[in-house]
Amino acid sequence: MTLETIDLAADVGEVLLTEEAIQSKIAELGARISADYGDRRLTLVSVLKGSLPFMADLMRAISIPVRIDLMEVSSYGGTSTESSGLVRILKDLSASIEGEEVLIVEDIIDTGLTLNYLLRYLRGKNPRSLRVCTLLDKPARRLVDIPVDYLGFTIPDQFVVGYGLDYGEYYRNLRFVGVLRPEVYSGGA
Amino acid sequence: MIDSAAAPLDQDDPTTVTADVESTTRPAAPSTRTSFAHASEAEMARILDFYQVRWEYEPHTFPIVWNLEGSVVESFSPDFWLPDLDLYLEMTTLRQKLVRKKNRKLRRVLELYPDLRVKLFYARDFRALMLKFGKLALVDELSGTPGQVVPVRPAAANDDDETDGEREVDR
């Protein structure tokens, strides 16, 4: 795949979640989170890069005061990580979460491997509570069972892009979630 | 359930694939190497290692068919056991005929051992995982018969001594 061959509109075969559906769900999630946490101090932790649009919209849908923080972990197969063979924290939290109410904001949970690692890592920082909010859940791919406290949509077992989700680092800027045409990636990654 | 450490599995079978992947449940032994039956299994072990999920390779064998004398004639050894998750993982990346056979075995296992948690990982699951990790180009090398890297077994060596069918290359 090269920049010249990418056609943002044509490469998506089906729009799975429209912009309107996503925003409506986020408003609903924001209201639930606001009600659940009430006057408790909440820290939203987003996992880069895919969760960025969801985090940006969700935090504005929450009506109680929140702090935000960002993390990034290496992904298997990434060129910068192959030498160690182990997942690494590329960007850690910028502030302590000890004793804090923490809500992880994820774009999608499929295998659960990354989130399983993150949950273990963050529990080690002794937050008061640690919960999970994900926009998308793809249970067909699950290897590690993850308790999801706030869920946007359960999606079928298809490769989706858009609204932060990428293929080869592209398509993140689509305002909807769509299914990537197989011919886009069938030639190899 | 039979602990495969004492079971006549083919850990020393020269036709298996040896990879520099260490079972993370074993005591520190830097030179420990695991022999995998299939390249996709070695790749899965690397993925589990990467995300620091402890695993053991074929540690347990579950008898599923006995003859009238009570001897085990068919058994099932899931490829991976993830002790922290109490989950068995079985990779199935070969042809549909073998997938059907494995599905049948899995159904039988779950009838006999209903508390067992087994995730069957099909070829499409492996392909999706490789796509997710940007390694789709490796799928053809790691899955299906090319990933097997083993010769056809003698006809006599089938379910009686092995369990998951993947070593029986169906060409």
User: pLDDT value at position B85?
Assistant: 92
**Best residue in B51, B87, B89, B124 for a mutation probing chain A (most A CBs within 10 Å):** B51
Q: Pairing between strand A66-73 and B80-82?
A: unpaired
Minimal C-alpha gap between A63 and chain B (Å): 35
In the predicted model, what is the mean pLDDT of residues B131-153?
A: 61
User: Residue B21: its chain A contacts at CB < 8 A?
Assistant: none
In the predicted model, what is the mean pLDDT of residues B121-134?
A: 83
Tell me the count of A-B CB pairs closer than 8 A: 59
User: pLDDT value at position B160?
Assistant: 36
Tell if the CB–CB gap between A185 and B49 is shorter than 8 Å: no
Based on the residue annotation, tell me whether A145 is a catalytic residue of this protein: no
CA–CA distance, A100 with A122 (Å, rounded to integer): 11
Catalytic residue selected from A39, A110, A145, A149: A110
A85 touches chain B (CB under 8 A): yes
User: Residue A168: its chain B contacts at CB < 8 A?
Assistant: 134
Nearest-Cα residue of chain A relative to residue B125: A141
The pLDDT tens digits for B35-46 are 888 888 999 999
pLDDT in tens, chain A (189 residues): 677 778 887 889 899 999 999 999 999 999 999 999 999 999 999 999 999 999 999 999 999 999 999 999 988 875 544 456 788 899 999 999 999 999 999 999 999 999 999 999 999 999 999 999 999 999 988 889 899 999 999 999 888 999 999 988 899 999 999 999 888 877 544
In the predicted model, what is the mean pLDDT of residues B116-138?
A: 83
Q: Pairing between strand A66-73 and A89-91?
A: antiparallel
Give the position of tokens 């079978």. Answer: B13
Q: Token digits for B9?
A: 């599995």
Q: Token digits for A120?
A: 């273990």
Minimal C-alpha gap between B69 and chain A (Å): 39
The pLDDT tens digits for B31-74 are 357 888 888 899 999 999 999 999 999 999 999 999 999 999 99
Instruction: Compare CB distances from B128 to A77, A120, A159 and report the shortest one's residue.
Output: A159
Contact by Cβ (8 Å): B134, A167: no
Q: Is the pLDDT of residue B16 over 50?
A: no
User: Residue A86: its chain B contacts at CB < 8 A?
Assistant: 49-50, 52
Q: What strands, in cross-sheet order, belong to the sheet with A150-154?
A: A89-91, A66-73, A42-48, A101-109, A129-137, A150-154
Contact by Cβ (8 Å): B94, B144: yes
**pLDDT tier at B130, thresholds 50, 70, 90:** confident
A80 touches chain B (CB under 8 A): no
Q: Which residues of B touch A (CB under 8 A)?
A: 46-53, 85, 87, 89, 119, 125, 128-137
* Amino acid at the residue A146: I
In the predicted model, what is the mean pLDDT of residues B121-143?
A: 76
Q: How far is CA A115 from CA A96, B56, B158, in A?
A: 19, 21, 39
User: pLDDT value at position B92?
Assistant: 84
Cis peptide leading into residue A49 (ω within 30°): yes
Minimal C-alpha gap between A90 and chain B (Å): 14
Minimal C-alpha gap between A181 and chain B (Å): 13
Phi first, then psi: give them for residue B148, nearest 5 degrees: -70, -45
Q: How far is CA A121 from CA A42, A98, B45, B82, in A?
A: 19, 13, 21, 19
User: pLDDT value at position B134?
Assistant: 79
A126 touches chain B (CB under 8 A): no
**pLDDT tier at B8, thresholds 50, 70, 90:** very low
In the predicted model, what is the mean pLDDT of residues B107-113?
A: 93
Nearest 5°: the CA angle A179, A181, A184 is 130
Q: Please tell me whether the interface predicted TM-score (ipTM) of this complex is above 0.85.
A: no
A157 touches chain B (CB under 8 A): yes
What's the whole-model pTM score? 0.78
User: Residue B85: its chain A contacts at CB < 8 A?
Assistant: 143-145
User: Residue A155: its chain B contacts at CB < 8 A?
Assistant: none
DSSP string, A66-115: EEEEEEEE--TT-TTTTTT-S--EEE--SS--TT-EEEEEEEEESS-HHH
User: pLDDT value at position B150?
Assistant: 46
Beta strands in B30-147 (DSSP E): 34-36, 56-57, 60-66, 72-76, 80-82, 87-92, 118-122
The pLDDT tens digits for B158-168 are 443 334 444 43
